[in-house]
Structure 1
């Protein structure tokens, strides 16, 4: 039977929501100011780049949002509460922005996801299931591609102990985060330690996760579909780097772009720097150069990628996030 949106009791004041959105906006503004020269350089890069390849990169980036939204859509459809894909893509933009702005191993936008699904009339338990299943699918795809990347490096005779160590550490995190989320769901609403109980954000998130329907979380075909959707996101990002290097007139294989994208993403995931500023560029450039791409082209292509994946969505991300905050502050 289709599940209908629950009729909530009057909402208690949640000041943490305002703090969360405010922190995201401050992080974005600070990063933009510190890297304004990069934004100026982007205009120069686009003038000398081949426009057809840049258009391909833009289309691939739109595909990443569609892939994320398709994973959520699969969960909502099975739960009997389908929502338009375009609306879910808007949420994907704001979640990506939140994940990038606050370094938390990809967890920064999870609270935002639940809040915006609730604003679309999705029951809290179903929203929690969408969160947990998308998290499992994301890390399953991420871990698989990390292993594939390591194998490709080994085939290129470029694998190093440091790279193997980073991948091993990442795999531990990729297993631990979904496992922790599922444990919290099984834990239910058992009392929390007093200090943690006082943190409204954590208390609210745990209460929400506890409501996720077990039938959805144990549906293997659903988990496989969501993992496939997240796999397409990684492939589209690697395709975007492939297009950016070609836009500069430098031939590159998709495998090389894939290795650089995944390695840089792993370093950013393990690092504490908001937006991955500097670490992503350095890792991607070094990996591309290691695999035979000229250093200047590797850096310029990586910068083009970051412009398409990070800076270009910044303004719509801020705009949509502001609208989400208003809708949740004034329900009904």
Structure 2
């Protein structure tokens, strides 16, 4: 009995430390970017407060399509409250590791906690990662088809930027193919994983409710994110039509997604700034819009997301 109590007491401080890790990482990230935050706040002081509040409200609704998309990737019904909490936490973790790994780790632990086997949980993550860019491409092409007189892609991003992104993508795929070809155990694992993923994808697309959830979420999330940028641009009185701003966001987010940085930090800002200037915005206004967009979508949700993540870890949900 005494040994059990001693063991439990020994584990308690470690668990408390683990719960504090997300908060410490968030605080370190904010401290490291404090000058950028202050600069953005200074640029946005003259912005329309009502439009900025609207951007915050739209940002909060972005969790809904993410939850829909997550639910659509598994056959089992997920508990709505815990699903929403896990995605709020995943949004914070996503800015701490590159290529969305932080969000995937949180979601993987959540799905495992819901009784979903690891292989099928990984297949759900792969389906989520596949449908997200498809949704962005579909929305971008649809807007360009519906508004043929909007700015062309060539006016948004310089050819050199697109070629660099393409080179990174091709290089990454080539390295991955060489690794798979040379490491036979890894190749076998990937084949088994793809077999499981394809089986689950076919089963999910045989259920209309899951199909609606997947593709509604995949299309609604980038649409709402683009609307956030539109509201921030309107707060700064940017002289660019709303459709052009949405096209600029979608094009920039697709290109920035090729560069695997934590939360897209650095790559998203650069791509968005170039795209907005290419759409016809003055550089100063475009800079303030990008900073405002990132403050609303990244920095403001960071601390609440870290707090939710700590609570979920403490309660063994993750």
Coarse TM-score class (shorter-chain normalised): 0.7 to 0.9
Q: Deviations over 1:244-301 (max 9, x none)?
A: 0111123432222223323432343232443433332232122211211111111111
Larger % of helix: which? 2
Equivalent residue runs for 1:7-156 within 5 Å: 28-45=26-43, 47-76=45-74, 79-84=75-80, 86-104=81-99, 106-119=100-113, 121-124=114-117, 127-145=121-139, 153-154=151-152
- Determine helix, strand or coil for the equivalent of 1:284: helix
Q: Say yes or no: does 1:276 pair with 2:264.
A: yes
- CA RMSD, Structure 1 to Structure 2 (Å): 4.2
For normalisation by structure 1, the TM-score amounts to 0.69
Structure 1 residue 32: deviation in Å? 1.4
Aligned pair in 2 of structure 1 residues 210, 321: CA closer, same or farther (>3 Å)? farther
Q: Say yes or no: does 1:304 pair with 2:292.
A: yes
Equivalent residue runs for 1:135-214 within 5 Å: 135-145=129-139, 153-154=151-152, 160-165=158-163, 168=166, 192=185, 214=199
Q: What is the total number of aligned residue pairs between the two structures? A: 288
Partner in structure 2 of residue 288 of structure 1: 276
Partner in structure 1 of residue 12 of structure 2: none
Contact preservation (8 Å) 2:156, 2:275:
no
Q: Distance in 1 between matches of 2:35 and 2:268?
A: 17
Residue segments in structure 2 that go unaligned for 5+ positions in a row:
1-14
Aligned pair in 2 of structure 1 residues 259, 18: CA closer, same or farther (>3 Å)? farther
Asked which structure has the greater CA Rg, the reply is: 2
Aligned pair in 2 of structure 1 residues 82, 63: CA closer, same or farther (>3 Å)? same
For normalisation by structure 2, the TM-score amounts to 0.72
Higher RCO (CA 8 Å, separation ≥ 6 residues):
2
- Determine helix, strand or coil for the equivalent of 2:95: helix
Structure 1 residue 57: deviation in Å? 0.8
Q: Deviations over 1:156-212 (max 9, x none)?
A: 7556433543565688699x7xx99xxx9xxxxxx946xx9xxxxxx9x99999876
When structure 1 is superposed on structure 2, of 150-159 and 295-304 the one drifting more is 150-159
Contact preservation (8 Å) 2:123, 2:193:
no
Partner in structure 1 of residue 247 of structure 2: 259
Partner in structure 1 of residue 204 of structure 2: 219
Residue segments in structure 1 that go unaligned for 5+ positions in a row:
1-16, 185-190, 197-202
Q: Distance in 2 between matches of 1:140 and 1:100?
A: 22
Q: Distance in 1 between matches of 2:198 and 2:77?
A: 14
Q: Distance in 2 between matches of 1:20 and 1:165?
A: 42
Aligned pair in 2 of structure 1 residues 298, 158: CA closer, same or farther (>3 Å)? closer
Aligned pair in 2 of structure 1 residues 284, 122: CA closer, same or farther (>3 Å)? same
